[in-house]
Structure 1
Amino acid sequence: MVVAVPAHVDLAEVDDPGVVGEEANRVGEIIDIPGWSLDGPVSMPEQAFGIEDVGVLMNSAYPWARPAVGVELRDGVGEIDAGALLEVYLYSQTASATARSQTGTVATKHGLVVRTALLEDAKGEILVAGQLGQGTPGGLDGAFQQLGRTTSGAVVDSVGKMLEYPLDRVAIQGAPTKAQLRPTIFLLLSILLAVAVGSVPRLIRKTRERRRLRA
């Protein structure tokens, strides 16, 4: 995951602790995870499933009718920006997100070559990684803010918890009512389906009793 990168810097096989510390701080500043510092605590808060996770569970269980989102990558895009949108959409399951580019190959800011689907074949909304509009931050903050425009705040909170990413700096805007109701509708359908399946044995038993009485 993107948010796990700073933790791995300490594993570098470098004899000079000062060099390791400088590199860790450099990477930490690039990723810019809220509250992270080299001398900060390494423990993570315990997480557990809660009511805020129902929307994500419903999106995962019922992937039908999800909108398509093309995440356009351009040469020179930062690695964090390149992966942030794809990651939050992957965990939220609110949309089918695909990395796309003009030529099918992109070189990131630090020379990583990424293969993508072609932009010309895209359907649905196109979002440019690292360029989400005026006033929208970059990195994971921007990705979460974009996610908040298309789903409920509960889903955004759930994804933040799954990625162990604090959302203190993210301004969550209200998504259209239709988008917010999608998980709720599928939850109601799940309940109705469970009730219907649970009623089948009873209906079969009653049908057999009626046949027996007629005989």
Structure 2
Amino acid sequence: MRRRIAHIVIITVAALGLPAAVGTLGVRRAADEVYPQRAPSVAAPERAAPALDPGRPTVAIVLGSAGANVADTLAPYEVFAATGRFNVVTVAPTSHPVTLTGGLDLVPDLSFTELAAQATEPPDVIVVPQLHGPTSEVVEWLRTQRRQGAPLLMGVCVGAEVLADAGLLDGRPATSHWLKLIGLRRSDPDVDWTEGVRFVDDGDVVTTAGVLSGIDGALRVVERLIGPTEAERVSRELRWSGYRPGRPVAIADEDPGPRDLVALLSAAYRWDRPTTGVLLADGVGEIELAAAFRPYTELSYLARLEAFSVDGRAVRSRHGLTFLPRSGWNPARPGVDRVLVPGGASGGSAALGDTSIPVVALHDSGEFPFDGALRDIADTYDVATARWVAKSLQYPVPDRELRGPRWPWRLTAMPLLLAGAGAGAVILVGRLPRLRRGEAPVWSRWSRKRRIGSSGGR
């Protein structure tokens, strides 16, 4: 009996251990691909540091040396830039290109040193998105800015963690991404962490909920520094329907749920993750770019993205940011499974010439850019994943119905097949010695005993 119990235990461990081990390796690989390292195949163009107009407030959006979240960075940038009333610059510890989520390489406008050379006082507004990698340089810079003046600080999503690390949120109310709040309450108990609102305005510190809530936080700053009329105008221009002047919009208190399992399945078992090209072209909107990168990578792990331009040269976005492609376009050897065209850049497929691979124009005019990305994910992958992406963005699913497969059943089958393979391998190994000795399999011996017992009964 003990041997049988031990055998059952070993089979159970193998059935659970194999999918867990394979899944762990898959998750690590997927996480590493969110910020893929850049090879210096495209040199950064010569740049002159932008001149700051002393008659305008300056907004500095901080980047980490190792990377920053693409939506946390570009969405507030476009809000401030669309007003035409601010000096809006991206700043980083150095002037080297910074990789944003999914492999979009951004050339900072100014390094910390260059900004200090131009301005005798800190920026009027400092925006801190989620940063990738070590943050010690940014934390020290933020402390220095605070000591030298009283800038308005804005933490977007997980960027609130950087402000907390700098000691700038102690004893104050703040918010962050719903998934990150679980850990922040433990790591930073001196902060009064709040949920259920798009942003928390605590005077000289504004913090926002997840990802696209950064738009609301930026609009709130515009409202305070310029006025609600301008904030409403910009929200309409960007097709953002969530803004309400004078107060933050209440949002649902989110928690992990069973339907969120799609994220783990994708990270652990999507071994055939496709390589998807993203066409960069001059004049593309910053939020349109964010919608082409964030939904397919971080927390969804749907594709490996390859940013390219038609001629392989750097491009300038609608409001003047410089982005470096990873390659140029080679129609004979595209190297990607399909192409996403943010904002209908330069005619999309027409700019690429004759190509046999699918070319997807992500955005329709008159809608918020992330709506198109969610529709594409539902159609290309499944609706459950599209809804998870919307939840991770803290963005309500668009009114129009998402169409596509309802659930990733093939991915769901992978851990079950691995469990069966693990259990089967243990059973086979246990039977090999008997097979070598020529003994009948267990089922054969059981069958024989039943026949003998039946004969005896007669």
TM-score, scaled relative to structure 1: 0.76
- Match of 2:382? 152
- What's the CA shift string for 1:186-215, capped at 9, x where partnerless? 32221332455468778888889xxxxxxx
SS of the equivalent of 1:167 reads coil
1:4 maps to which of 204, 213, 223: 213
Asked if 1:78 is matched to 2:291, the reply is no
Check whether the contact 2:243–2:249 (CA below 8 A) recurs between aligned residues: no
Asked if 1:188 is matched to 2:396, the reply is no
Measured after TM superposition, the shift of residue 44 of structure 1 is 2.9
- Match of 1:139? 369
Asked if 1:29 is matched to 2:236, the reply is yes
- What's the CA shift string for 1:42-93, capped at 9, x where partnerless? 4431112223222222111123112221111210011111110211111422
> Sequence identity of aligned pairs in percent?
27
2:308 maps to which of 97, 100, 104: 100
Closer, same or farther in 2 for the Cα pair 1:26/1:112, shift >3 Å?
Answer: farther
Check whether the contact 2:282–2:315 (CA below 8 A) recurs between aligned residues: yes
Closer, same or farther in 2 for the Cα pair 1:205/1:23, shift >3 Å?
Answer: farther
Q: Distance in 2 between matches of 1:43 and 1:56?
A: 25
Which stretch of the first structure deviates more once superposed, 107-116 or 142-151? 142-151
Measured after TM superposition, the shift of residue 134 of structure 1 is 8.7
Check whether the contact 1:130–1:138 (CA below 8 A) recurs between aligned residues: no
Greater relative CO, 1 or 2 (CA 8 Å, sep 6+)? 1
TM-score, scaled relative to structure 2: 0.39
Give the greater-gyration-radius structure (CA): 2
Q: Distance in 1 between matches of 2:322 and 2:425?
A: 55
The Cα RMSD (Å) is 3.4
Q: Distance in 1 between matches of 2:214 and 2:248?
A: 16
User: Unaligned regions of 5+ residues in structure 1, if any?
Assistant: 209-215
| Higher fraction of helix | 1
Q: Distance in 2 between matches of 1:199 and 1:134?
A: 48
Q: Distance in 2 between matches of 1:71 and 1:34?
A: 27
User: Unaligned regions of 5+ residues in structure 2, if any?
Assistant: 1-71, 76-211, 345-360, 434-458
